[in-house]
Structure 1
Amino acid sequence: MADKHIDEISGVETTGHEWDGIRELNNPMPRWWVWTFYATIVWALGYTILYPAWPLVNEATKGVLNYSSRAELAGDLEGAKIAQGEVIEKISKVSLEEILADPQLAQFATAGGASAFRVNCVQCHGTGAAGGQGYPNLNDDEWLWGGDINAIYQTIAHGVRDPVDADTRVSEMPAFIDILQPEEVRQVAAYVVSLSGTPRDPSMVEPGQQLYADNCASCHGESGEGVRDLGAPNLADAIWLKVQGEAEIAQQIQAPRHGVMPAWNARLSNETVKQLAVYVHSLGGGE
């Protein structure tokens, strides 16, 4: 005992360990901390006995309580489905107008439609439904086929140019490459641009207007306002779905590009399609 070394500054006994003249003080952990540490060991041992803990080749130990977080989640989901079942059943039976008129149904359908949109529609229309080159913006009030709730439902349910849906929306713009001469195509493009902007050569607008009246007005309207029954877009609002600029407009006249939207009634339940229609209608551009 006499050979114990006491640190002169702190007055604490050292352990006898020394490194480069530095001695280690013998400061034991507080007893409350030690007992807490022992308690965590006991708790961990009890946990591994009661609950799944140790991984095996194909599964983990089940524990004497046979608890499963997956089973608990499945039970919660089943309970949620049962709770939602009454509302979903009501949505399936009432019209879209009745859904919009009922605040509870409208709120439920909008939330459900938003979830379905994020899973099925954002790949083309974007997370904010603003669309992009070749994909319509669903937030504005420009609709090829109409923006009332029933028109939106029809488009979602049966798609556009879906090859396997008999009720799909169909519109085909002919290729004018064999109908108009290249110079005439450029004249029509100049006139179309003049409806919302300034063409590169204003002298081409007047002959282009006559060519437009003879070849394009039957679908796009006399003033380029579009015809929804035909899915013909408005050409006077400077909102372009597939092209940008006068040269691309001329190319679209010669060799039009046609997009395809799948018919979702073959992939989703009717209740989900209704909710999607309600959600899209709620984005701000619904009529």
Structure 2
Amino acid sequence: MAKPIKEDHKSDKVGTTGHEWDGIQELNNPLPRWWVWVFYLTIIWGAAYTVAYPAWPLITGATPGVLGASVRADVAAEIQSFDDKNGPIKAKLVAADLTAIEGDEELKSYAMQAGKSVFMNNCAQCHGSGAAGVAGKGYPNLLDNDWLFGGDMTAIHTTITHGVRNTVDPDARNVGLVMPAWSDKASGPLADAASAKFTEEELGSVVHYVLKLSGQEADAAKATAGTQLFADNCAACHGEDGKGNRDMGAPNLTDAVWLYGGDEATLTATLTLGRQGVMPAWGYAGEGVAPRLTEDQIRSVAVYVHSLGGGE
């Protein structure tokens, strides 16, 4: 048998909110006094915090706060403290002969760790986090031993410092030198850079000659027709044997390593449209402008890249 419901006359003492559901009234009980005081204290604390610390956004920043606290300044100070601690090893790295760094365990250990960080923050966007490049996009694979400008420490350091074909550093590699557009239908600066214009048939002949050079399947008749065209127009950069010229950054056409791809369609596009990939200068940003990377960072990333397996 159900117990009788006891009437609650508490509502007569505290009143109700006026809300009622199925005969059940919501009492208007006051909050505990301690809770109210804690609530008021949090309001006071919040107001005091916005006065003491940066808080209110402005058009160009935020209110600084009377204590002058700055998270950015704290981070900068912490970074500076580590820079100061690493000062001696950085100075030693900058002063060392490039070819001797890998023989000094202390320098090599520091350079590898610092270089990996520099690479991930600045180079991985183009060369990939694993440094294998991006196939068909013109970003070189740094893991193999096929280097346009050489893969020894000095060559890598120079390439990183000055970049390739950029308009900032006058010492950049290949300034003013591009792979021209050879098609007679092409126009623009890359077409103007070509010493001759190929008809569609001639262009196809050169493509098949290059396919033959690299050991791929090629049309024998077209390859034969392209032999003289290659010798007259392409050998100046790529060499008579097609093995390239590092002084000019001209790639070896006889192997299976291709920056943009070595199939017939891609080779046709390369000859038709030309190529002019650019690498920024990391050690020079203009007169009076701080470079993207310091000398110790450039040396560190050069050591890291050289150690990846493709360094000569």
Q: TM-score, normalised by structure 2?
A: 0.68
What displacement does 1:126 show?
Answer: 1.1
Any residues of structure 2 matched to 1:128-277 within 5 Å, and which? 128-129=130-131, 130-132=133-135, 133-170=137-174, 171-177=177-183, 178-194=196-212, 195-199=214-218, 201-267=219-285, 268=291, 269-277=294-302
Give the structure 1 partner of residue 110 of structure 2: 108
Distance in 1 (alpha carbons) for counterparts of 2:146 and 2:205: 26
RMSD of aligned residue pairs (Cα, Å): 3.9
Provide Cα deviations, 1:22-49, integer angstroms capped at 9, x if missing partner: xxxxxxxxxxxxxxxxxxxxxxxxxxxx
What displacement does 1:162 show?
Answer: 1.2
The letter of the residue matching 2:258 is W
- C-alpha distance 84-197 of structure 1, shift in aligned 2 (>3 A): same
The letter of the residue matching 1:145 is F
The letter of the residue matching 1:164 is V
SS at match of 1:228: coil
- C-alpha distance 174-98 of structure 1, shift in aligned 2 (>3 A): same
Distance in 1 (alpha carbons) for counterparts of 2:74 and 2:169: 41
Distance in 1 (alpha carbons) for counterparts of 2:114 and 2:88: 14
Distance in 1 (alpha carbons) for counterparts of 2:301 and 2:198: 42
Q: Is the Cα contact below 8 Å between 2:128 and 2:134 reproduced in 1?
A: yes
Q: Is the Cα contact below 8 Å between 1:131 and 1:138 reproduced in 2?
A: no
Provide Cα deviations, 1:160-182, integer angstroms capped at 9, x if missing partner: 11112111111323332253222
Q: Is the Cα contact below 8 Å between 2:178 and 2:275 reproduced in 1?
A: no
What displacement does 1:60 show?
Answer: 11
- C-alpha distance 59-285 of structure 1, shift in aligned 2 (>3 A): same
Gaps of 5+ in 1: 1-51
The letter of the residue matching 1:197 is Q
Instruction: Please say if 1:85 is aligned against 2:87.
Output: yes
Distance in 1 (alpha carbons) for counterparts of 2:203 and 2:73: 65
Gaps of 5+ in 2: 1-52, 184-195, 286-290
Aligned length: 274
- C-alpha distance 71-230 of structure 1, shift in aligned 2 (>3 A): closer
- C-alpha distance 188-70 of structure 1, shift in aligned 2 (>3 A): closer
Instruction: Please say if 1:283 is aligned against 2:308.
Output: yes
Which is richer in helix? Answer: 1
Distance in 2 (alpha carbons) for counterparts of 1:174 and 1:60: 56
Provide Cα deviations, 1:93-136, integer angstroms capped at 9, x if missing partner: 22211222211111111211111111111121111113332110
Distance in 2 (alpha carbons) for counterparts of 1:158 and 1:70: 31
Q: TM-score, normalised by structure 1?
A: 0.73
Provide Cα deviations, 1:189-221, integer angstroms capped at 9, x if missing partner: 00111223112x332122222322222222212
Distance in 2 (alpha carbons) for counterparts of 1:202 and 1:145: 32
Distance in 2 (alpha carbons) for counterparts of 1:229 and 1:175: 21
- C-alpha distance 251-68 of structure 1, shift in aligned 2 (>3 A): closer
The letter of the residue matching 1:245 is D
Distance in 1 (alpha carbons) for counterparts of 2:74 and 2:199: 70
- C-alpha distance 61-248 of structure 1, shift in aligned 2 (>3 A): closer
- C-alpha distance 71-157 of structure 1, shift in aligned 2 (>3 A): closer
Q: Is the Cα contact below 8 Å between 1:96 and 1:149 reproduced in 2?
A: yes
